[in-house]
Amino acid sequence: MSFTITGTGSCLPAFTVQNDDFTKFVDTSDEWITTRTGIRRRHFIKDETLSQIAVEASQKALENAGLAAADMDLILCATLQGEDVSPSLACLVQAELGANCPAFDLNAGCSGFLYALHSAAAYFRAGMANHILIVCAEQLSRFLDWKDRSTCVLFGDGAGAVVLSRGDSLLTVRTGARGQRENLQVPGRNVSGPFWHDTEKSRSLLSMNGREIFKFAVTTVQNEIESAVKDAGLTADDVDYFLLHQANGRIIDSARTRLHQPEEKFPGNYEECGNTSAASIPLLLDELNRNHRLKKGDILLLCAFGAGLTWGSCIIRWEKN
């Protein structure tokens, strides 16, 4: 016994930034960004807070599942960092929803949703939960170096959520990591105070070796998809939809080409949202659900890669009507 997805929800900030908006302060163009990434616009938190969009996505998922916050046995929040170091974002969501269950954050970078699914599966298998809320909420705009044209144009803010209930829809789930910081990092703040020589406060800005991360992503996605379908006793042809981390259109196109699969099996939201880190796959899943593109019995393969370095894959049978 593992789980089935009974509800989905999402929330994007109202403030939208087009590619041309970046030309006012960095040497770039709409053509440069679109050609290399496929991204055309993204959403940034401006008038909302991270906890507000996380709560709205969670409320929509609960409503879609036909369940109340009081029914939840656990709230898992995947995020690079909540509004505060403490309390956790999951605890803020729990309080706002009025839930009465354990709640904690996990950080696996852009692979956070897959790590959360893997963790939830263990709770179900141990008989410790009947219903679990997973919410992935990211505010990458806080960490961007607005002088670095190679990174500041890539990311967006957003939140996606799912409600999981006991069931048998999970066919396989895998996660992995290879710890390193040189190719993708958001450093923490320096220690400051009377006992340290360095009292200068520093901002935590994202830095990335795009070439190396691209190679890592292409290889990882290919390997994970092949391993996941093998674990589930399937082939790529058996999969109805591949929901891949929405980091870059070229990475998704590379995976599709290598798998010899049609374009319609690879839905995307990167053009409208950019890379929303852990939120990208649940955002996409909610879009497909709300637009009635998923049919009962569809086989969904989820795959992500992220900072850490981390990766994960999952195959789920869609059982929701």
pLDDT in tens, 139-159: 999 999 999 989 999 999 999
Q: Is 63 within 8 Å of 10 (Cβ atoms)?
A: no
Topology given in CATH for the domain delimited by 173-180+204-317:
Peroxisomal Thiolase; Chain A, domain 1 (3.40.47)
DSSP state of 15: E
DSSP string, 88-131: -HHHHHHHHHT--S-EEEE-BTBTHHHHHHHHHHHHHHTT--SE
320 strand-pairing partners: none
Known catalytic membership, residue 101: no
Please identify which of the residues 11, 77, 91, 110 carries the catalytic annotation. 110
The residues with which 16 forms a beta bridge, in sequence order, are 43
Residue pLDDT, tens place only, 173-222: 999 999 999 888 888 877 777 777 765 556 689 988 988 998 998 999 99
Q: Which residues lie across from 133 on neighbouring strands?
A: 75, 163
Query: Is residue 292 annotated as part of the catalytic site, yes or no?
Result: no
Q: In the chain, where are the structural domains located?
A: 2-168, 173-180+204-317
CATH architecture of 2-168: 3-Layer(aba) Sandwich (3.40)
In sequence order, what E strands does the chain have?
2-11, 15-18, 41-44, 74-78, 103-106, 131-138, 158-167, 170-177, 184-185, 207-208, 241-244, 299-306, 310-317
Residue 80 pLDDT > 80, yes or no?
Answer: yes
Active-site annotation holds for 275 = yes
Per the residue annotation, which of 19, 245, 273, 303 is the catalytic one? 245
The pLDDT, as a whole number, for residue 152 is 94
- Amino acid 177: pLDDT: 96
The model carries a pTM of: 0.95
- Run of H or E residues at 52: helix 50-65
Per-residue DSSP letter, 301 = E
